[in-house]
Each structure stands twice: as structure tokens, then as C-alpha cells.
């Protein structure tokens, strides 16, 4: 089968290629470890001037994490899930703080854990194939891997909208929102990699030279509605605003939210509220790890995985079943810091 992360050097660039195509390159603990080890090896390696992240064959950059493993672990003692999150978040943090330039090619599905890989990179390349989303509320999780940091820093209430609904963005929309730094045609990617390998200090010029003017970003046409209808950090008020609007677009968003985990949605709003004022990305990851270790063992995650991934009936029975039933006390319990000996650390 070969390595699930292909680690090579190409000219003056280190290459990290995700290679789990049948799972859309969803991340395992071992894959995260391999990426960390390569980044560490290249940190002091003078011949490596930049790091490129992409995927081998298949239609996705990275669809997320190994959800079935997390659900199986969460149904037991949760140890494997904790190990995965600790390692994945160290990888996210290592990329965020990496001194050498990093480039992620988000060609295809870029969701969940894939967003966590791409967003810390200095250069983030979208294409006409990009499908970008944080869809965790549909399976009883939350937009982790730094979602509280990145989404809370998007313009207006766009981050809250994306976190609650799991809405998929295309490449042009990613560029318009600053989630991508460049928009390239997919058939220009290999030339971009060749130029990066030849001159890792000239990445910006290389990508600028190959970039296209993207199509219109449709999401920007809903910017006013998003800012108005998703204005509140109180989920009940968001539901009320959408219900009171009466328009077709608002009704469609309300219908989507009614299929999502109320616990996950309330948690997501809290995450972004806190994330907007986090002093460092390390602080963000520490809070997200505390949340992840708890939520993976709660009912909604097991039920969301059953409904969406295992049985595929798309009829989850959430508990609590409504936004009103999710108490602030419950959210505070899930978000509370872990004891020092259990807390996440970068190393």
C-alpha cells in the first residue's frame, strides 16, 4: 500500500503528500506523527527552503480525521481519541509556528482536519476543484484544529455562519474570504510546485504569476444577510432571527441548522467567541483539546457518526434535542480547562 504520508524533497522544497486516497486522505495519528517528524527534520536542514503540502492521487486534499476510530475510541475509554487529538493539534501548532515558508495546495475536498493542515500555511492555494468546509456540527463534533481561531477572524459573522451550518465554499469564495491566498487553475499546480522547488524564496512571485482571476464569489452576495441573521452569540437568538426573516435563503439556513447537533452549535458559538480574544494559537489548541477529549465521549458524537457515516440514514437523534435544552452550564463544563497533568502542550 505504501506510506500514508509520502515524505520527499524536490529541489529545495520538502514535500509532504497525503496518501490515503480511499479515505480522501483523512488523517490518522501515524500520519500526523509522520508530518511532525518531517517538519522537525527539515527545520535545521539548510537544503530545504520551503515545505509543500499536497495529496497524491484522488479527488481530495484531505477530508478530515479518522472519524470511525474516534467514535470507536469514544465509545470506550477514549485513550486513542485523546492520543489522536494531542498529536494532530501538535502538528497544527508546529505548522502555525514554522519558520520556513509553507504552501498548501487545497485542490479538491478540504474539510475538517484538512482545514487544520492548510490554514496554518503561509500560502494557501485554492483551485476550481476546492470544496472547503468545517462540517462538524453534522456529526456532533465542533470546528476544531484551530477553527475557533481562524473562523472567528473572518469578516463579519462569516465564521459563525460557516461553523454552524458547515456550508461548503468553493475556491473563489475561499480567496474572497482570505482563507486562500491564491487561486490557480488545477492544471497549473505542477508548474507552481516546480517553480517553488527551484526557488523557495520566490513563492509569492511564482504563485502570483500563475494565479487566475477567480469567478464571482457567490457567498459575498449573502454577506449582509449573514451579518444580520447570525449576529448573536446566542444560538436561540440566531434561530429566532432566521425564523423571523421569512425569506427563502434564511429558511434554507434554518432547515440546515435543525439537522445539526444543538450541543455542537452552542459549543461552536462559544468557541468562536473565546477564539476571537485568544492571545496565542497555543492557547486556542489547549482549549480545543479540552473540548475534544470530552465531546468525543458524549452521546451526540456517537449518534452523529452512526447517522451520517455508519447507517447513513441522516436521521440523528440528538440529546439534548433542542437548542433551548442545551444549558450554559453544560457548555461551560465541556469548555472548562483540563487539570494541568491532562492538558495539551505543544511538545
pLDDT score for 57: 83
pTM: 0.96
The pLDDT tens digits for 217-237 are 999 999 999 999 999 999 999
The pLDDT tens digits for 106-121 are 999 999 999 999 999 9
pLDDT score for 347: 78
User: 151 Cβ partners below 8 Å, 6+ apart?
Assistant: 134, 143, 158, 159, 160, 162, 163, 272, 275
φ/ψ of residue 255, rounded to 5: -60, -40
**Percent of the chain with pLDDT strictly greater than 90:** 96
Q: What is the side-by-side order of every strand in the sheet holding 131-133?
A: 60-62, 109-111, 131-133
pLDDT score for 59: 81
Domains of the chain: 5-335 (3.90.226.10)
**CB crowding 178-209: b at 16 or more within 10 Å, else e:** ebbbbbbbbebbeebbebbbebbeebeebbee
Q: What angle do CA 96, 341, 140 make, to 5 degrees?
A: 60
Q: How far is CA 333 from CA 60, 198, 276, 295, 301, in A?
A: 36, 51, 20, 11, 16
The pLDDT tens digits for 114-145 are 999 999 999 999 999 999 999 999 999 999 99
**Percent of the chain with pLDDT strictly greater than 70:** 100
C-alpha cell, 213: 482571476
The pLDDT tens digits for 21-41 are 999 999 999 999 999 999 999
CA distance 100 to 318: 44
pLDDT band at 2 (very low <50, low <70, confident <90, very high): confident
Q: What is the number of other CB atoms lying within 10 angstroms of the CB of residue 122?
A: 16
For residue 158, the surrounding DSSP H or E stretch is helix 158-165
The pLDDT tens digits for 51-93 are 999 999 878 899 999 999 999 999 999 999 999 999 999 999 9
Residue 216 reports pLDDT greater than 90: yes
pLDDT score for 116: 98
pLDDT score for 139: 96
Four-point Cα dihedral 297, 300, 306, 309, nearest 10: -90
**What is the overall mean pLDDT for the chain?**
96
Q: Which residues are known catalytic residues?
A: 65, 113, 136, 144
C-alpha cell, 307: 447517522
Residue 1 reports pLDDT greater than 60: no
pLDDT score for 58: 78
In the predicted model, what is the mean pLDDT of residues 43-55? 95
In the predicted model, what is the mean pLDDT of residues 292-306? 96
pLDDT score for 156: 98
The pLDDT tens digits for 267-280 are 999 999 999 999 99
In the predicted model, what is the mean pLDDT of residues 160-166? 98
Amino acid at each position: 500500500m505504501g506510506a500514508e504520508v509520502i515524505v520527499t524533497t524536490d529541489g529545495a522544497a520538502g514535500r509532504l503528500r497525503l496518501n490515503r486516497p480511499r479515505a480522501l486522505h483523512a488523517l490518522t495519528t501515524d500520519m500526523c506523527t509522520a508530518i511532525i517528524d518531517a517538519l522537525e527534520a527539515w527545520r535545521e536542514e539548510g537544503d530545504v527552503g520551503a515545505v509543500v503540502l499536497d495529496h497524491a492521487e484522488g479527488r481530495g486534499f484531505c477530508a478530515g480525521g479518522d472519524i470511525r476510530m474516534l467514535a470507536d475510541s469514544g465509545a470506550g475509554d477514549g485513550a486513542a481519541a485523546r492520543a489522536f487529538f494531542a498529536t494532530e493539534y501538535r502538528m497544527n501548532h508546529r505548522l502555525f509556528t514554522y519558520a520556513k515558508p509553507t504552501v498548501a495546495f487545497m485542490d479538491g475536498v478540504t474539510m475538517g482536519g484538512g482545514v487544520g493542515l492548510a490554514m496554518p500555511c503561509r500560502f494557501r492555494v485554492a483551485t476550481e476543484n476546492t470544496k472547503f468546509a468545517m462540517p462538524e456540527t453534522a456529526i456532533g463534533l465542533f470546528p476544531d484544529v484551530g477553527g475557533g481561531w481562524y473562523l472567528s477572524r473572518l469578516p463579519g459573522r462569516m465564521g459563525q455562519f460557516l461553523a454552524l451550518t458547515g456550508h461548503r465554499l468553493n475556491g473563489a469564495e475561499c480567496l474572497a474570504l482570505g482563507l486562500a491566498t491564491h487561486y490557480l487553475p488545477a492544471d497549473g499546480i505542477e508548474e507552481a510546485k516546480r517553480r517553488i522547488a527551484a526557488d523557495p524564496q520566490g513563492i509569492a512571485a511564482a504563485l502570483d504569476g500563475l494565479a487566475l482571476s477567480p469567478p464571482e464569489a457567490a457567498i459575498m452576495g449573502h454577506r449582509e444577510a449573514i451579518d444580520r441573521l447570525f449576529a448573536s452569540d446566542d444560538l436561540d437568538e440566531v434561530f429566532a432571527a432566521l425564523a423571523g426573516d421569512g425569506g427563502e435563503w434564511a429558511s434554507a439556513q434554518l432547515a440546515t441548522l435543525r439537522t445539526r447537533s444543538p450541543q455542537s452549535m452552542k459549543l461552536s458559538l462559544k468557541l468562536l467567541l473565546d477564539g476571537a480574544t485568544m492571545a496565542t494559537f497555543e492557547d486556542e489548541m489547549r482549549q480545543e483539546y479540552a473540548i475534544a477529549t470530552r465531546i468525543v465521549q458524549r452521546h451526540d458524537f456517537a449518534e452523529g457518526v452512526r447517522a451520517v457515516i455508519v447507517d447513513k440514514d441522516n436521521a440523528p437523534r440528538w440529546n439534548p434535542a433542542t437548542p433551548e435544552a442545551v444549558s450554559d452550564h453544560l457548555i461551560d463544563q465541556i469548555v472548562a480547562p483540563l487539570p494541568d497533568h491532562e492538558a495539551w502542550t505543544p511538545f
